[in-house]
Structure 1
């Protein structure tokens, strides 16, 4: 079965382009911030004689991920209180679907509600 692919109006295309540029800017800023805090932590850990304990970039990425998860769910990122469990469910299910579809993860996503 062929899928319909709507042709965007010039105004719709403009909106898509604006959002795409904002997405790209955000991704670049987050990537740059992760690299900067990783470098800063490594320098400070080295100055303290603890260079072997310096967190990897992935540690800081997981911190961002956790805080964004809380933001998306409406929870306090320090206490995890106040989040919407329905949104949390859908965010987790989306991640499971991505892992299964794009990375062939051996996982069955939560069933739809």
Structure 2
């Protein structure tokens, strides 16, 4: 079976390029925001003489991930209310499929 990619028209290529640039800019902004939050927390904890270990970059990435998940599901990130469980299941299934495909992790489902 032939699994070739379609040849894009010049107009379609322009749209793809515009979206790609916007994606890259957005992700650069997110990465910078995560780094900035990590630095800010460390500096503020140090300024008050706290012995607490500052949260790692991964902590702030997890906070962003959870909020984006809730937004994608249609839930309120503050209260977790109003989300669509069907959308949530599809998002989680997609994550399992990515883990299985790229990292060889078995795509197990709960239940």
Quickly name the TM-score band, shorter chain normalised.
over 0.9
Separation in structure 2 between the aligned mates of residue 101 and residue 109 of structure 1, nearest angstrom: 15
The residue that corresponds to 2:69 in the other structure is 69
Structure 1 stretches of 4+ with a deviation exceeding 4 A read: none
Separation in structure 2 between the aligned mates of residue 69 and residue 28 of structure 1, nearest angstrom: 19
The residue that corresponds to 2:50 in the other structure is 50
The residue that corresponds to 1:85 in the other structure is 85
> Offset at 1:109?
4.6
Contact 1:97 1:109 in 2 (8 A): no
The residue that corresponds to 1:96 in the other structure is 96
Separation in structure 2 between the aligned mates of residue 85 and residue 51 of structure 1, nearest angstrom: 40
> Offset at 1:107?
3.3
Separation in structure 2 between the aligned mates of residue 108 and residue 40 of structure 1, nearest angstrom: 38
Unaligned runs of 5+ in 1: none
The Cα RMSD (Å) is 1.3
In the superposition, the TM-score normalised over structure 2's length comes to 0.93
Partner SS for 1:53: coil
Unaligned runs of 5+ in 2: none
**What's the CA shift string for 1:44-84, capped at 9, x where partnerless?**
01112225421001000000000000110000001110001
How do 1:5-20 and structure 2 match up within 5 A?
5-20=5-20
